[in-house]
Structure 1
């Protein structure tokens, strides 16, 4: 287009070139050539700008953060390419959500199976061992009696640990008493086990949630507490559950050292996959030395 405009200008303009060429004519030709190159470069950059945005999105897109799309405008091949790429992201996000749902449901089923076996097999066996040790200690003489009492105490502590693992694998209180009771039990056990201070802020008028949403909220809270205990070096945590604007929001905040967004581990990516399972939004804000806040906003199920 620039070349055609320059050719038409030369044809219509009263410009001549002498032989040999004069200095003023050379200056006009050089300036004209420079203007044509600058205009051509600007037009080329403007035309390729959508491709540059598409390239940046291709290198940064993350299926665990859905909704990243490029606007489509104009006509020609570039908008059609962007439209095709956006359609491909739609398909990939749907496929990722479907496959993640299958994996997470299978994971929950496996957790229930392991928890059942721990409860029925290991738990009952250790309970029987406690009874045998108790009877043996009653009939034994010193110092054997003290040793049997020590073995009994170790077995009792191991049984308590097995029961704690069973509760982590299968939160029965979630099925029996609901989400608030399950989170209260989770945070109480966490504070007892780690020695960290946990502040609970739960709304009393939470709406009825389906089991899948409650399970995702519980698992995200569980993983958030685990990450804080392992990596945050925190002293205080706050766990909140609130209802507003047709959604339920879970918040877990600590006063630890914070994390870098570029170093999200498997735990956080697992939380993002669980959020996709129910169409929730997971927002993580953190800065070095300023703690971490994890916010999961789950939409209420449609009636």
Structure 2
């Protein structure tokens, strides 16, 4: 029986560790040929010298399991290196079918203390990195579609975050980048749908080196992957990877422009923001007093958990 992704080629960025590694292994298990991209810097803030070891280790895992993979050590936030990454997939396997954007760094700081470099570096790696790879993958699929005279199989899975959905006080750069990724995703979905390409974003919750501080207070359930019964930690990246595999497959052809929250055996589909209330002026233009009379009572009776800046958004508060 054919595997869901048999014969398809996937790029997974930031695939040397954590979520990216789990996603690359899952796509390979489902039959895809993998380009494992990772810059290999040891610091989660993007510090340290680049290393081929993380990407090559994952390639070795995939090959040991009978799959096909090659590594790419490069910075996806660099336009030329992102172009080379897509070219590597095409030159190695003939075409690109799946792009999973996962690469990222953290430089957390409260907004009143954040430096320009801390802002720029996170926006660069997350948001520009997603754009760069998407730009060259999109051009590849557009050319293929024109040559074929119809739609092709193209899948983009972007990585956003609940930091964008509910706010994160110490991560204004990260939250902004993740919000921008959702905007990039929906724009891409609209632009590429006619070529057979879908673009979706996920908000994963997983225990990795990127989130070790965030989830430090949440104990590993069932003792993690080494538990006697073999059950996974509820925050293991392996809980996220199956959704990525599904979104990358032909089965998800009608899933486009979506935002999905995923962790611990749960998938939640987020809807577009809806209008919660609407007020019309009794005159030609609102006055201050009229707005005060309408909006102040409205917000006075609205519970705080219904605002965007609350951890209870989507009912996913974890403590």
- Same fold, TM-score > 0.5, yes or no: no
The structure with the larger Rg is 1
TM-score after normalising by structure 1: 0.24
Greater fraction of residues in helix: 1
TM-score after normalising by structure 2: 0.23
Of structures 1 and 2, the one scoring higher in RCO (CA 8 A, sep 6+) is: 2
